[in-house]
């Protein structure tokens, strides 16, 4: 019996790369797994491999994640783990008049909107089950600058900030929201950059190595934490520096802006 025996999980972008490795790992730990991907064939292939549920949908559509969570609850009776993993690269400079607005909106839709839609869909289900974990695939680009892809960096910083704030807000309900921040991993997301990295002798993470981090996070992650995954290092939470406050030392009350 695995650690997740009797539990149910949903993985977005689960048809390849990190998502597929995560789906396999969650199944190996005993979970029943739903694999959501835009590519129906890829979703079905991984779902069949783990004896799970294949779901097809565009994560940028507001209805996709609520529908997916409803299917998971209908099929498995509960939801305990959501791995919001789907993501794409910027593929343009994003710093001048050449901006492709449609491609930019697609990037934000996949990398940011999907995380918000997925969290908002998963949280009620996790509440019904008495708690659970949401792992969001961010990136090292969410913790530091990636000058080669400023728009990707923007989206991953947004995701890390959202996770840190919302994770703290949900912690009291037994719901852990945390961010997975891998370095360069050998997945289709790399595209043409893969050859440049390997030619330079740069070590690439395997998707299975990132799945190791997912497993560690399910055991140990604190709400709102961001875990770094780098080749040759054990996955571990990033230690954010504190922010300076007013000179008088006052702390602001919790407020909503606007």
Residue 100 Cα distances to 28, 45, 96, 104, 106, angstroms = 42, 33, 10, 6, 10
Output the six-digit token pair for 85: 């993993």
Task: Supply φ then ψ for residue 136, to 5 degrees.
Answer: -110, 125
Sheet holding 32-37, edge to edge: 53-56, 32-37, 8-12, 81-84, 132-137, 175-182, 226-229, 236-237
Whole-angstrom distance, CA of residue 244 vs CA of residue 31 = 43
162 classed as catalytic: no
Please name which of 19, 41, 229 lies closest in space to residue 33, comparing C-alpha atoms: 19
Whole-angstrom distance, CA of residue 9 vs CA of residue 11 = 7
Whole-angstrom distance, CA of residue 19 vs CA of residue 114 = 15
The dihedral through the CA atoms of 12, 13, 14, 17 has a sign that is negative
Please tell me which residue in 104, 152, 162, 238 is annotated as part of the active site: 152
Whole-angstrom distance, CA of residue 186 vs CA of residue 206 = 6
DSSP 38: S
Whole-angstrom distance, CA of residue 171 vs CA of residue 177 = 8
- The set of catalytic residues is 152
């Amino acid at each position: 019996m695995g650690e997740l025996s009797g539990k149910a999980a949903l993985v977005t972008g689960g048809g390849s790369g990190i998502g597929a490795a995560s789906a396999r790992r969650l199944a190996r730990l005993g979970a029943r797994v739903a694999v959501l991907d835009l590519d129906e064939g890829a979703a079905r292939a991984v779902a069949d491999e783990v004896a799970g549920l294949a779901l097809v949908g565009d994560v940028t559509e507001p209805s996709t994640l609520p529908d997916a969570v409803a299917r998971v609850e209908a099929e498995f009776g509960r939801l305990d783990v959501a791995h919001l993993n789907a993501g794409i690269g910027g593929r343009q400079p994003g710093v001048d008049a050449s901006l492709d607005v449609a491609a930019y909106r697609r990037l934000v839709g996949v990398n940011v909107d999907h995380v918000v839609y997925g969290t908002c869909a998963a949280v009620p289900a996790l509440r019904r089950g008495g708690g659970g974990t949401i792992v969001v695939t961010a990136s090292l680009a969410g913790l530091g600058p990636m000058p080669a892809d400023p728009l990707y960096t923007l989206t991953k910083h947004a995701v890390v900030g959202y996770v840190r704030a919302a994770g703290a807000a949900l912690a009291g309900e037994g719901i852990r929201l945390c961010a997975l921040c891998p370095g360069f991993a050998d997945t289709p997301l790399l595209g043409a950059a893969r050859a440049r990295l390997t030619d330079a002798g740069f070590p690439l993470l395997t998707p299975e190595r990132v799945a190791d981090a997912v497993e560690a996070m399910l055991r140990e992650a604190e709400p709102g934490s961001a875990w770094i995954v780098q080749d040759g290092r054990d996955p571990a939470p990033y230690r954010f520096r504190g922010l300076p406050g007013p000179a008088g030392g006052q702390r602001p009350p919790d407020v909503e802006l606007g």
